[in-house]
Amino acid sequence: MEPRLPSGRWATAAMLLLLLALSGSIVEARPMGANMTGRAFIPFRVGRVTPQGWLLKQLELQAEGLGGHLAHFWDDVMNSVWIGGDADGGLHERVPYWLNGMVPLAFLLKNANSPFAYHGIKDVHQPDDQLCQANVDMQNHDITNFPVQRPEDCRQSCLNNTACVAIVLNNCTNPPTCWLKSGIGRADETTCRCFGVVKPFTAEEGIMNQTERFINHILNAQAASGWLGPDDMPTSGDMYWGNFPVLLSLAMYAEGNPTMEETIATAMLKFFQEANRRMSNVPMSDWSQARGMDFALAVQWVLENAPNGQEAFLQDFLATVQNQTLDWETWFQDFTTGASPHGVNNAQALKSSGVWYLSTGDPSFTESSKDRMRNMDDFYGMASGMFCADEILCEANERKMPSRGTELCAVVEAMFSYNTLFSVHGDVAFADRAERIAYNALPATFASPRGGDMWSHQYLQGLNEINAQVSDDHVWTHDGGDAQLYGLAPNYGCCTANFGQGWPKFANMLLYERNDGSVAVGAYGPVAGTSTNGVFVNMTTEYPYGDTVSIAVHTNYSTTLHLRIPTWAHTAQVEIDGSAVSNITAGIMNPVAIPAGKHTVLVNLKPEIRLEHWYSEETVSVHRGALMYSLPIQGSYTTLVEYAYESNDYQVLPTSEWRYALDLDFDNITSNFEFSNPGLGKDLVAFNHTAWGATIATKGRVVPNWEIAHNAAAAPPASPVCDDVQCQPTQSITLVPYGGTDLRISEFPWA
Ligand SMILES: *[C@@H]1O[C@H](CO)[C@@H](O)[C@H](O)[C@H]1NC(C)=O
Ligand SMILES: *[C@@H]1O[C@H](CO)[C@@H](O)[C@H](O)[C@H]1NC(C)=O
Ligand SMILES: *[C@@H]1O[C@H](CO)[C@@H](O)[C@H](O)[C@H]1NC(C)=O
Ligand SMILES: *[C@@H]1O[C@H](CO)[C@@H](O)[C@H](O)[C@H]1NC(C)=O
Ligand SMILES: *[C@@H]1O[C@H](CO)[C@@H](O)[C@H](O)[C@H]1NC(C)=O
Ligand SMILES: *[C@@H]1O[C@H](CO)[C@@H](O)[C@H](O)[C@H]1NC(C)=O
Ligand SMILES: *[C@@H]1O[C@H](CO)[C@@H](O)[C@H](O)[C@H]1NC(C)=O
Ligand SMILES: *[C@@H]1O[C@H](CO)[C@@H](O)[C@H](O)[C@H]1NC(C)=O
Ligand SMILES: *[C@@H]1O[C@H](CO)[C@@H](O)[C@H](O)[C@H]1NC(C)=O
Ligand SMILES: *[C@@H]1O[C@H](CO)[C@@H](O)[C@H](O)[C@H]1NC(C)=O
């Protein structure tokens, strides 16, 4: 644990001004915002980070994939109520989720001079010739419906209607019924209906252009009362929730574009005042009440950055928000009272103790943060670093089923929560975890026949996943049969909008600064950035494929680089300008003194292959450094539904053997494995599904009695297997990064 500093960052910035004045450098003094306790490590502000290498490529894959195109064909973003349309109904959370990823993505790509920032790609999608795809329906987004004489008339009517882009036709009725659709939503399997995209789509608008179009509309449409966005549930305590991600997006946008800071802080303050008035009559409930910590983060941002003399109001309002939020602190002790088991709520709420610690400085929240991660692991943990929750946390006895899933929204929210806890408390365990989820669970949930792009995602990912198909009889208990398909919006559209925050927010939470002007690396990956005091840090690495990270530090004053040495890196070595740094310790932030000038710090993490046991030794997973290694199962793809651009729903069925137990010598773990690291090659696609950056060769035996249950791999047979059961002879198998598989086995029985 890092010692925390007592006062706000700007108070210390003023002290630095004093110090730096002596050396002739200028640091802009900022008024102290409030009595905030302060974060141990403050992420570099949005707009100060430049992604490079594979991470830039990953962000570009997001921009040229689904994330960068939703505003051009997916009704809930394209025609959202947030920009004057009529889609994005219910909680109005789709555009908020989407912006929360687009804003940081836009600034990252802009800094990297990526063509996607402003121009995107000239991307034209022509509908195919067939009238429509049989046995597919699409809910919502209706313009009108009417009977037609011939199916072809339905298509013609759509061509004649400027708002229409797609049709659904029921040709089992006589005459057939035709629905005209204003946008594309989630498809459903059905009989008698067919769905077809009629109009061509053309997109050229870059990520920054899309982002600014939405941000400007939202600011310009602010009501005189101060309310932002749609306002059609004035008596529901759920009305506040949709605004939380919008407020966080506005704050990030203001960081990236400081000329907008005053305008945005004023708009946010007016919103808080209106929300405060409403909350005395209509307290937060449901999603709002579960997720109040995200609201508080936005209030804290205004308090720290531009309180405009409203410190007292903002402090009081923070207390009100905290008071109206569910008691997650009690919940995370034993998961019985205080809150409830909804998976995404739990993922978001992981950070509540950190957020309340910032508001209050109460040290009991520090303990609460530590305890909750351990308790979550004990009750629900899985080898990906996530917890088992297909919508609702799994019951204890269901956890022995690694085919059960974890929702993509929970993955990206848990990443942000754990990074926030690291930022607040400075405890390496949280950064280890955020990095583990980012480099495993996040990429594992995307797949397409092109291997490694970001056009199709799942709602639920399974650690052991032998197919991605529509399963009416399925092993998960709370989601629909299509929840493990790779597609546009399998099961539900929330993750389609929400996944976008994953990579960009992670890229913005690798580099940190402290109140004393020093800098820190919280997670490793190829980015460069400049702190508010002008310290330039540039990480060059193929990590998590490479084991070394070269960090250039340029500073005008002697300072400290705090390096996270992951808990697994117990033989890590660090050099500065070629000289070894002594006393490097795993599991803590290691301070390395950096004199004024330009220096190179070389970190060699020297990971070893390690095994983790799950469910009382019954299964084993294989890890090296930040990556988990899985058995890839060959998959055969079938396109189920075609939408626009490259957006399709895919079924993937297994074509290779998956029933392997690892044949292990536990007396000498390293003797079981042969690691090879071909690197990422010039494409730099970190999570390609065939051209893997690293693989591990090992030995396995097929276990014939490992069965299929509910269309999924049954719980792995009790280990050690092959004593009572006749297993097939030992053979060589190759394990690959979990994030680079379509289908896989990750929790193995062992022989
Ligand atoms: C800051 O808050 C702490 C705890 O509430 C309080 O003891 C202290 O007096 C406050 N300091 C200022 C400057 O308001
Ligand atoms: C579409 O518009 C054309 C030209 O106005 C008209 O001839 C045709 O009947 C219309 N078709 C349908 C199905 O509305
Ligand atoms: C309905 O239309 C689809 C797509 O054109 C076609 O495949 C199907 O045979 C039609 N069904 C009937 C009952 O006409
Ligand atoms: C995107 O925004 C930039 C800067 O405002 C502008 O120059 C450019 O024309 C826009 N491009 C598109 C395709 O809208
Ligand atoms: C917290 O909420 C309770 C009602 O749930 C209310 O009685 C109390 O005054 C509130 N406290 C603050 C600080 O808002
Ligand atoms: C992954 O690698 C294969 C083989 O080199 C290549 O064909 C494919 O385009 C790559 N995928 C992506 C998304 O670049
Ligand atoms: C640090 O020094 C360099 C070179 O003299 C200068 O370009 C840069 O602006 C300085 N940075 C700050 C924050 O003063
Ligand atoms: C970081 O260093 C690499 C390797 O020297 C270099 O190619 C890259 O341009 C640097 N990044 C920045 C933002 O200067
Ligand atoms: C080594 O580092 C640890 C953790 O920072 C510290 O507690 C210890 O005093 C250091 N030992 C030496 C000899 O510097
Ligand atoms: C463990 O296995 C490795 C590789 O097979 C071998 O080099 C090493 O000597 C073994 N260690 C022990 C303690 O047997």
Ligand 9 midpoint to CA 583 (Å): 6
Q: Provide mean pLDDT across the span 660-676.
A: 95
Helix (H, G, I), strand (E, B) or coil at 656: coil
pLDDT in tens, 381-396: 999 999 999 999 998 7
Q: Does 251 fall in a domain?
A: yes
Are residues 228 and 86 part of one domain?
yes
Q: Give me the sign of the Cα torsion angle 133, 134, 140, 143.
A: positive
Ligand 2 midpoint to CA 86 (Å): 26
Are residues 192 and 244 part of one domain?
no
| Residue 302 near residue 268 (C-beta atoms within 8 A) | yes
Domain containing 179 equals 133-197
| Residue 510 near residue 527 (C-beta atoms within 8 A) | yes
Asked if the peptide bond before residue 234 counts as cis, ω within 30 degrees of 0, the response is no
Q: Which residue's CA is the nearest one to ligand 10's atom 8?
A: 671
Is the pLDDT at 28 greater than 60? The verdict is no
Q: How far apart are CA 39 and CA 537, in angstroms?
A: 20
Q: Provide mean pLDDT across the span 30-55.
A: 80
Number of H helices, E strands in the chain: 22, 35
Question: Does the beta carbon of 726 lie inside 6 Å of ligand 10?
Answer: no
Ligand 9 midpoint to CA 60 (Å): 42
Q: Does 644 fall in a domain?
A: yes
Q: Does 304 fall in a domain?
A: yes
Q: Does 629 fall in a domain?
A: no
Q: Does 539 fall in a domain?
A: no
- Please give the pLDDT value at position 35: 46
Q: How far apart are CA 289 and CA 345, in angstroms?
A: 10
Are residues 110 and 216 part of one domain?
yes
Is the pLDDT at 32 greater than 80? The verdict is no
Q: Which of 7, 35, 314, 316 to probe ligand 1 with, by most ligand atoms within 8 A of CB?
A: 35
Is the pLDDT at 624 greater than 90? The verdict is yes
Number of domains in the chain: 3
Determine the atom of ligand 7 nearest the C-alpha atom of 26.
Answer: 14
Are residues 222 and 107 part of one domain?
yes
CA separation, residue 447 to residues 53, 56, 581 (Å): 21, 19, 42
Domain boundary among 176, 197, 218: 197
Q: Does 58 fall in a domain?
A: no
Determine the atom of ligand 7 nearest the C-alpha atom of 27.
Answer: 13
Domain boundary among 325, 345, 366: 325
| Residue 164 near residue 198 (C-beta atoms within 8 A) | yes
Among all bound ligands, the one having the nearest atom to the CA of 596 is 7
- Give the pLDDT band of residue 309 (cuts 50, 70, 90): very high
Give the DSSP H/E element, type plus range, for residue 145: strand 142-147
Q: Does 641 fall in a domain?
A: yes
Q: Which residue's CA is the nearest one to ligand 2's atom 5?
A: 160
Are residues 94 and 170 part of one domain?
no
Q: Which of 19, 22, 25, 558 to probe ligand 7 with, by most ligand atoms within 8 A of CB?
A: 25
pLDDT in tens, 445-477: 999 999 999 999 999 999 999 999 999 999 998
Are residues 225 and 107 part of one domain?
yes
- Please give the pLDDT value at position 395: 82
Lowest-confidence pick of 74-83, 270-279, 607-616: 607-616
Q: Provide mean pLDDT across the span 497-509.
A: 98
Q: What is the DSSP letter of 750?
A: B
Phi, psi angle pair for 62, to nearest 5°? -65, -45
Q: Which residue's CA is the nearest one to ligand 7's atom 4?
A: 556
Among all bound ligands, the one having the nearest atom to the CA of 49 is 8
| Residue 633 near residue 656 (C-beta atoms within 8 A) | yes
Are residues 320 and 216 part of one domain?
yes
Give the DSSP H/E element, type plus range, for residue 69: helix 66-73
Domain boundary among 197, 218, 247: 197
What predicted TM-score, i.e. pTM, was given to this entire model? 0.93
pLDDT in tens, 227-256: 999 999 999 999 999 999 999 999 999 999
Residues in the chain: 751
> How many CB atoms lie under 10 A from the CB of residue 113?
10
Q: Does 418 fall in a domain?
A: no
Contacts of 370 (CB under 8 A, 6+ apart): 425, 427, 429
Ligand 8 midpoint to CA 190 (Å): 53
Q: Provide mean pLDDT across the span 676-699.
A: 96
- Kindly list the strands in the beta sheet with 389-390, ordered across the sheet, starting from the edge strand earlier in the chain: 392-393, 389-390, 405-407, 460-462
Ligand 7 midpoint to CA 231 (Å): 48
Q: Which residue's CA is the nearest one to ligand 8's atom 13?
A: 528
Ligand 9 midpoint to CA 599 (Å): 23
Phi, psi angle pair for 506, to nearest 5°? -65, -45
Q: Which of 665, 667, 669, 671 to probe ligand 10 with, by most ligand atoms within 8 A of CB?
A: 671
Are residues 220 and 174 part of one domain?
no
- Give the pLDDT band of residue 615 (cuts 50, 70, 90): confident
Q: Which residue's CA is the nearest one to ligand 6's atom 1?
A: 688
Among all bound ligands, the one having the nearest atom to the CA of 668 is 10
Q: How far apart are CA 386 and CA 371, in angstroms?
A: 16
> How many CB atoms lie under 10 A from the CB of residue 522?
24
Q: How far apart are CA 365 and CA 322, in angstroms?
A: 13
Is the pLDDT at 675 greater than 90? The verdict is yes
Among all bound ligands, the one having the nearest atom to the CA of 552 is 8
Are residues 283 and 228 part of one domain?
yes
Are residues 738 and 716 part of one domain?
yes
Is the pLDDT at 70 greater than 50? The verdict is yes
Q: Which CATH number belongs to the domain containing residue 177 in this structure?
A: 3.50.4.10
Is the pLDDT at 1 greater than 50? The verdict is no
708-731 burial by CB neighbour count: b if 16+ within 10 A, else e? Answer: eeebbbbbbbebebbeebebeeee
- Please give the pLDDT value at position 21: 34
Q: What is the DSSP letter of 224?
A: T
Contacts of 517 (CB under 8 A, 6+ apart): 12, 16, 531, 533, 535, 557, 559
Is the pLDDT at 29 greater than 90? The verdict is no
Question: Does the beta carbon of 315 lie inside 6 Å of ligand 5?
Answer: no
Is the pLDDT at 540 greater than 70? The verdict is yes
Ligand 2 midpoint to CA 179 (Å): 16
- Please give the pLDDT value at position 425: 96
Ligand 10 midpoint to CA 170 (Å): 67
pLDDT in tens, 115-141: 999 998 888 999 888 899 999 999 889
- Please give the pLDDT value at position 399: 67
| Residue 79 near residue 71 (C-beta atoms within 8 A) | no
pLDDT in tens, 325-358: 999 999 999 999 999 999 999 999 999 999 999 9
Where are the alpha helices (H) located in 112-162, listed in sequence order?
A: 115-118, 151-160
Q: Which residue's CA is the nearest one to ligand 8's atom 3?
A: 540
Lowest-confidence pick of 67-71, 613-617, 626-630, 670-674: 613-617
Are residues 238 and 291 part of one domain?
yes
| Residue 691 near residue 685 (C-beta atoms within 8 A) | yes
Q: Which of 322, 323, 360 to probe ligand 5 with, by most ligand atoms within 8 A of CB?
A: 323
Q: How far apart are CA 423 and CA 438, in angstroms?
A: 16
- Please give the pLDDT value at position 634: 97
Are residues 213 and 297 part of one domain?
yes
pLDDT in tens, 699-711: 999 999 999 999 9
- Give the pLDDT band of residue 27 (cuts 50, 70, 90): very low
- Please give the pLDDT value at position 291: 98
Q: How far apart are CA 232 and CA 214, in angstroms?
A: 20
Determine the atom of ligand 3 nearest the C-alpha atom of 172.
Answer: 13
Contacts of 315-323 with CB under 8 Å at 24 or more apart are 315/34, 315/35, 317/272, 317/275, 317/276, 318/359, 319/359, 320/276, 320/279, 321/284, 321/292, 321/295, 321/296, 322/292, 322/296, 322/356, 322/359, 322/360
Ligand 1 midpoint to CA 35 (Å): 6
Q: Which of 44, 48, 50, 52 to probe ligand 8 with, by most ligand atoms within 8 A of CB?
A: 52
Q: What is the DSSP letter of 133?
A: E
Partners of residue 521 on adjacent β-strands:
511, 563
pLDDT in tens, 139-190: 889 999 999 999 999 999 999 999 999 999 998 999 999 999 999 988 888 9
